[in-house]
Structure 1
Amino acid sequence: MPFREGPLGDLKVPLTWTAAVALIVAIVIAVAFLLADRRETLQQQAYGVTRQTVDTVSKPVSGVIAAPGRWTGLGVDFVSSYFFTASENRRLKAELKEMRGYRDMYLAEVDKNQSYRSLLGLRTDPPIPMVAARVVADTRGPFANTRLADSGSEKGVVVGNPVMNERGLVGRVVGVANGASRVLLLTDIASRTPVMIDRTNARAILTGDGGPNPKLDYLRGADPIKEGDRVVTSGDGGVVPRGLPVGAAVKGLDGRWRVVLFADDAAIDYVRILLFKDFAQLADQKALLTRSLPPVTTEDPDVSILGPVAATPKPPAQAGATPTGPGATPTAQGASATPAATPPKPPAAAAPKPAAPKPAAPKPVTSGPTTAQRAGGEL
């Protein structure tokens, strides 16, 4: 039924009254806003009451006026999201793919940072100089098992240097070039490393056989090993320092003792090469080459364990003394005897006897008068 045919069809609102009411409402709102802005002309109490009244009136009015706009915005967003779902889905997929790349980079950097921290925390006792390196190639075969590191002779690496990662011993250097070094792993068939059982100090040789767990050969001692014993380097032969962690002892399926390597618990991507040549570099050579020996004393001061004691020289003779003995010649008064600094001569086998004095030769007879004849002539 049309609206005009209803009971309210003849109802007409006077236009004059409608305009008057709207004008009155507008005037009231304008006066309220004017009073709210005239802060400097009103008292604090009157201003507070006016502002409270305006806020109370404008709150529901503002909410009602703003509701249609808010609902319209929500409707537009819903319609646009419905029609643009496919494009939004494509955008989100591209963003997710990009974020996955960043996630992988983040995880790689975290793993690298942890490896660096572990390598920097690696210490030996006594301290040994080390060189950090990154493994750049892996050479595997039915028996050979080596790695190629990016540090070589330019950093002081030589053949025989031990190689470790953050877990334990990896192997030793078997080839060096400028910028590269080849590492022979403990599992290689040519690897031989002297080790010992940490609990019993029993010695053995860790022998690689191409498998993941090298075997223990030449194990000595009574009941030297048990399941789970910690195996470390022994330092025998000066090949590697003593005490480097190697692995844990296990019993193989063939009944032989083998070692589960600690180095296999982590990827061998970053290693540290120990610049170890021999045990002489671990000691202070200048302190060992001292030449001053402590004094040696015995109960008898005339006896020394270093050699025979030299004979004590006799004191010199007094001034003016006449030496005695055959063949001795008198010395003038005030003359000094033999100096005391002259070392005594060793005694001869048999001292020769002094020769008897020879008789004086007879004087020749002269032709002149004798003494008696001269006396008688005078008489």
Structure 2
Amino acid sequence: MAFRDGPFENLKVPLVWTAAVVVVVSIVAAGLLLVSDRKAVDGGSSYGAVRGAADTVTGPVSGILAAPVRWVGAVTDYVGGYFFAVSENRKLKAELAELQPWRDQAIALKNVNARYEALLGLRTEPPVPMITARAISDARGPFNRAKLLDVGTRRGVRIGNPVINEHGLVGRVTGATGGVSRMVLLTDVASRTPVLVDRTDARALLTGDGSDNPRLEFVRGAGSVQPGDRILSSGDGGGLPRGIPIGVAAKGIDGSWRVKLFSDRGAVDYVRVLLFQDFGQLVDPNALNAPPLAGLGTAPEPSLEQAAAIADVAARRQAAARAQAERTRQAQASQAATAGPSVQRGPAPRAAPDQSTPETPPGGPSPAPGGAA
């Protein structure tokens, strides 16, 4: 028998009421489950087994059902990126054009900081005061090789001060005003620098001739120079400190010895001026005296024990001197008391003649008794 032929053929249930009843029953069932869910002895839930079984069954099914959703999202992102690639490319080009000047400035500042760090790391032995300067102009010609520096006499710069960079000796100051000084490079024709060969300690004279490699002249000793020998300042004449690096020796085309300058390894933009006048400022005069000679002029300061012993001896001498003076005074007083009566019975002592009145010559008139002189 079909359902429509049964007793419930004419029974009609509204769909809204059916859905409402289903929702109410579901809410009541969920509430009962929440209320009846209690903690087990081991801390788990009383429905733990049921939930685990449900997760085991629904896990793979959920992964399979979620795969199409993920695929649709990936396709949507790919299509959206393809259509917005042109606008994104324009945006990136604008940002790149804006950041390009900053990149150039960062590179320039990095180079300047590296130069400053190298300059600040320079140390001389013995220490020589120095100041940092910047070359503000460059004068170059067939023979003239000079630069102007932005420091002058107000910063302590004087004529003859050596100038170095992070690689070695650059030149010397030949003129100075309040805020600007003129530096002649080692390659200038007017440059003459006493140098030495580091390997043999042979002396020579570095002479500029307008070329990039100055000439090494008046070398003392046969075979004292070889290609690659380091050339340093000798300090002869007192114009430069000893041991400043200058360059390496090389054989020129004309057969003469020349020097490849260390200072040509980079641009001579930032330099340091050595405030060097003579060797007297490098040594403490008091340090030149040996310990035995130092005690001739001034006595060494005694220790605490020696000072206490000296004070004790001085106190004893003063006490002995006071006791001796007291005994002498008592002896004189006793002698005066004993010799007093005998002195009174004797004739009166003759008074010494007055030096203010002239003495009467022998044979002269004597004063009359009771008369005036």
* Residue 41, structure 1, aligned to residue 38, structure 2: yes
Q: What SS does structure 2 have at the residue aligned with 1:240? A: coil
Name the counterpart of 1:255: 255
Distance 1:185 1:82, change over 3 A: same
Say whether the 8 Å CA contact 1:36–1:51 is kept in structure 2.
no
Name the counterpart of 1:277: 277
Name the counterpart of 1:105: 105
Say whether the 8 Å CA contact 1:39–1:47 is kept in structure 2.
no
State, as a whole percentage, how many aligned pairs show the same letter. 54
* Correspondence list, 1:12-27, <5 A: none
Distance 1:280 1:53, change over 3 A: same
For 1:143 and 1:36, locate their aligned partners in 2 and report how far apart those are by CA, in whole Å.
104
Name the counterpart of 2:302: none
Say whether the 8 Å CA contact 1:35–1:50 is kept in structure 2.
no
Deviation of the 1:118 alpha carbon: 1.8
Q: What SS does structure 2 have at the residue aligned with 1:243? A: coil
* Correspondence list, 1:206-225, <5 A: 206-225=206-225
Q: What SS does structure 2 have at the residue aligned with 1:212? A: coil
For 1:211 and 1:39, locate their aligned partners in 2 and report how far apart those are by CA, in whole Å.
103
Q: What SS does structure 1 have at the residue aligned with 2:46? A: helix
Name the counterpart of 1:199: 199
* Residue 126, structure 1, aligned to residue 123, structure 2: no
Name the counterpart of 2:52: 52
Deviation of the 1:259 alpha carbon: 0.1
Q: Higher mean Cα deviation, 134-143 or 25-34?
A: 25-34
Distance 1:275 1:73, change over 3 A: same
Q: What SS does structure 1 have at the residue aligned with 2:48? A: helix
TM-score by length of 2: 0.64
Distance 1:38 1:277, change over 3 A: farther
* Correspondence list, 1:183-194, <5 A: 183-194=183-194
The letter for the 1-side match of 2:168 is G
The letter for the 1-side match of 2:59 is K
For 2:286 and 2:272, locate their aligned partners in 1 and report how far apart those are by CA, in whole Å.
29
Q: Aligned residue pairs: how many?
A: 276
Deviation of the 1:270 alpha carbon: 1.9
Say whether the 8 Å CA contact 1:197–1:203 is kept in structure 2.
yes
For 1:237 and 1:36, locate their aligned partners in 2 and report how far apart those are by CA, in whole Å.
106
TM-score by length of 1: 0.63
**TM-align CA RMSD:** 3.6
For 1:38 and 1:240, locate their aligned partners in 2 and report how far apart those are by CA, in whole Å.
99
Deviation of the 1:32 alpha carbon: 10
Q: What SS does structure 2 have at the residue aligned with 1:232? A: strand
The letter for the 1-side match of 2:92 is L
The letter for the 2-side match of 1:156 is G
For 2:36 and 2:236, locate their aligned partners in 1 and report how far apart those are by CA, in whole Å.
97
The letter for the 2-side match of 1:41 is R
Q: What SS does structure 2 have at the residue aligned with 1:183? A: strand
Q: Which is greater in Rg?
A: 1
Say whether the 8 Å CA contact 1:197–1:232 is kept in structure 2.
yes
The letter for the 1-side match of 2:55 is D
Name the counterpart of 1:154: 154
Distance 1:52 1:151, change over 3 A: farther
For 1:38 and 1:103, locate their aligned partners in 2 and report how far apart those are by CA, in whole Å.
67
Distance 1:239 1:66, change over 3 A: same
Distance 1:49 1:249, change over 3 A: same
Unaligned runs of 5+ in 1: 1-15, 17-21, 295-379
Distance 1:27 1:156, change over 3 A: farther
CA deviations 1:319-359 (Å, max 9, x no partner) are xxxxxxxxxxxxxxxxxxxxxxxxxxxxxxxxxxxxxxxxx
Name the counterpart of 1:320: none
Say whether the 8 Å CA contact 1:32–1:54 is kept in structure 2.
no
Q: Where has structure 1 moved over 4 Å in runs of 4 or more?
A: 25-40, 286-294
Deviation of the 1:180 alpha carbon: 2.7
Name the counterpart of 1:338: none
Name the counterpart of 2:239: 239
Distance 1:102 1:47, change over 3 A: farther
The letter for the 2-side match of 1:245 is P
Distance 1:34 1:272, change over 3 A: farther
For 1:33 and 1:177, locate their aligned partners in 2 and report how far apart those are by CA, in whole Å.
97
For 1:124 and 1:168, locate their aligned partners in 2 and report how far apart those are by CA, in whole Å.
11
Say whether the 8 Å CA contact 1:214–1:259 is kept in structure 2.
yes
The letter for the 2-side match of 1:254 is D
The letter for the 2-side match of 1:48 is G
Deviation of the 1:50 alpha carbon: 3.8
The letter for the 2-side match of 1:280 is G
Distance 1:281 1:48, change over 3 A: same
For 1:130 and 1:39, locate their aligned partners in 2 and report how far apart those are by CA, in whole Å.
89
Name the counterpart of 1:179: 179
Q: Higher mean Cα deviation, 100-109 or 269-278?
A: 100-109
Say whether the 8 Å CA contact 2:140–2:146 is kept in structure 1.
yes
Deviation of the 1:56 alpha carbon: 3.0
Unaligned runs of 5+ in 2: 1-12, 14-18, 298-373
Name the counterpart of 1:4: none
Distance 1:193 1:39, change over 3 A: farther
Q: What SS does structure 2 have at the residue aligned with 1:46? A: coil
